[in-house]
Amino acid sequence: MGFLNFLQMKSILKRVGAAVLLVPVLFSCATYNKSMDSYYTHIREHNYEAAMRSIEKNKLIKKDRNALLYNLEMGKLYRLQNDLVSSNFFLNRADGMMENNKKTIGDFALGNLISPMRQTYLGEDFEQFMVHYYKALNYTALGQKEDAVVEARRITLSTNTQDDKFKNKDSRYSKDAFALNLQGMIYESAGDINNAFIAYRNAAEIYLKNNNKYYGVQLPAQLKADVVRTAAALGFTGEQQQYEKLFNTSFALQNNEAGEAVIFIEEGQAPIKEEKNFFITSNSNGIGSFNYINESGTSSDFNFNYAQYGIGAEKLSSVRALRLALPVYSVQYANPQNISINNGVDNYTPQLAQNMNSVAVNILKERFFTEMANALARHLTKKLVEKGTQAAAESIAKSNDKKTDTTATKEEKEKQQQKKEEKAVMAGEVAGLLMNVVNTITEKADTRNWQSLPAFVSYVRIPLMQGENIVTINVGGKTQTLKVNSGKGLQLIGVGID
């Protein structure tokens, strides 16, 4: 290769390198949601047979690393088809996976060298509590009250795990008020009023510690009534009076011999994860100090604890600006609808119990700096691999090019050696560029989540009359009916609306 051709090739390599910067744009739309689009379309259209065919044909969700997502979706899909036994089969499998959610060494390597999308999906914290919710409703509908109670106890275990994870910090998602409220209802439906009171009280205390609002949900009036009512039923006069005063309410004795029903109403689609590029630039506050533009368009500080990731300060000295791909939630269903319930005698208004928009969006914000630090560490690790690949290719090229013209003059030998050096540099740059292309293409945010969850869960408690009850749900002039048979105690029923 002539020296002129060598210079031309270097020029081409620079242009190719610039073009590589466009790769994130070309690949930015390939999110998990996009790959599952046909499945979710069939779900929204209530075409569950087509949804089943779609998920079974989808190669991405059938990969081992996405086994949790597959089981979560199958559990929800079978529930939508009212096959509650099959639903709990898959939800129990998912529950077991989430209980043992430990990353392997291989997962760490894949996350650092390729992309977090290549790691085993371990689930979001709130997804664990939603598994308990669906399993409990399934067991209750199947008449398996003992299994439902087991699920209530598992809510306690999940809550303890969450507490330990965030040291019970009020500023973090260390508890789930909806799950504890549900726990109280499960215990009450099984006739365990003592544990029901404890669960209701624990749920209410979360709201009280957070100015009566927790992740987009106001302290439900029904929960206030349940705390006071169960305290009165147990003869806990002190607690009854305490909470009557605190809630500005009073206990009214009710005798519903035909039982009551709590109807959970699910609507909308939970937020989906999308990828967003954040550009960070080093500032003058020292090694590891950066600035980035936040979602409001203003500059914010980010301090990278590089030692925590085993990265030396010298590796950061040359960093000026970087693009980091991070996950963000995109809300799909903005507000709950106006819903009314009629039991043939009175009208009732459901109360919001779980706001998935608020939960999902805010817990991701809570770990934003962790996500950014992981992305930066991943980027720097890839750069080290890139440089190592370039140096290795250059060394190999030098060792392979051992031809020397023994009859050449000293000047000719020097020229030959210079060409060998240039070829080796060329080989190194080509290898480094190829690794850069791979690194750029694979630099993706983890956009996986359980996307068939609802945006909102509301609930209403209504008295039943002896025999068959026709319950009418009115949503914006459209109605759907439920048939609920009377029975002793409390029934838990889940309903989805469009």
Q: Is 221 in a helix, a strand, or coil? A: helix
CA–CA dist 94, 129 (Å, integer): 12
Residue 269 vs residues 142, 208, 452: alpha-carbon distances, Å:
26, 28, 6
Q: Tell me the two tokens of residue 300.
A: 């914010």
Within 401-474, where are the H helices? 410-442
CA–CA dist 359, 214 (Å, integer): 9
The β-bridge relationship of strands 289-293 and 272-282 is: antiparallel
Distance of CA 337 to the CA centre of its chain: 24
Contacts (Cβ under 8 Å, ≥6 apart) of 241: none
pLDDT at residue 253 in the model: 75
CA–CA dist 103, 116 (Å, integer): 12
pLDDT at residue 422 in the model: 62
CATH match for 63-253 among 1.10.3720.10, 1.25.40.10, 3.40.630.30, 3.30.470.10: 1.25.40.10
CA–CA dist 303, 241 (Å, integer): 50
Q: Is 128 in a helix, a strand, or coil? A: helix
Nearest residue to 17 via CA among 438, 433, 442: 433
pLDDT at residue 78 in the model: 98
Q: Is 293 in a helix, a strand, or coil? A: strand
CA–CA dist 114, 435 (Å, integer): 11
pLDDT at residue 405 in the model: 60
Q: Tell me the two tokens of residue 163.
A: 């507490």
The β-bridge relationship of strands 347-348 and 351-355 is: unpaired
Nearest residue to 41 via CA among 355, 33, 331, 78: 33
How many other C-beta atoms lie within 10 A of the C-beta of residue 417? 12
Residue 114 vs residues 257, 349, 385, 432: alpha-carbon distances, Å:
62, 50, 11, 16
pLDDT at residue 403 in the model: 61
pLDDT at residue 389 in the model: 52
- With contact defined as beta carbons under 8 Å apart, do 476 and 338 qualify? yes
Contacts (Cβ under 8 Å, ≥6 apart) of 89: 75, 78
Nearest residue to 134 via CA among 147, 115, 120, 117: 147
- With contact defined as beta carbons under 8 Å apart, do 443 and 224 qualify? no
pLDDT at residue 399 in the model: 66
The pTM assigned to this predicted structure is: 0.84
Q: What is the mean pLDDT of each run of 10 residues along the chain (498 residues)?
A: 45 47 46 91 95 96 95 98 98 94 62 75 95 97 96 95 82 92 98 98 96 97 96 96 93 82 96 90 84 83 84 74 87 94 94 97 92 83 56 57 64 66 56 47 82 97 94 93 92 94
Strand partners, 491: 261
Q: Tell me the two tokens of residue 56.
A: 């079974």
pLDDT at residue 431 in the model: 44
- With contact defined as beta carbons under 8 Å apart, do 423 and 3 qualify? no
DSSP state of 413: H
The β-bridge relationship of strands 468-475 and 339-342 is: antiparallel
pLDDT at residue 377 in the model: 82
Strand partners, 321: 281
Q: Is 93 in a helix, a strand, or coil? A: helix
Contacts (Cβ under 8 Å, ≥6 apart) of 490: 185, 188, 189, 259, 260, 261, 262
Distance of CA 386 to the CA centre of its chain: 31
> Domain locations in the chain?
63-253
Contacts (Cβ under 8 Å, ≥6 apart) of 478: 498
- With contact defined as beta carbons under 8 Å apart, do 176 and 207 qualify? no
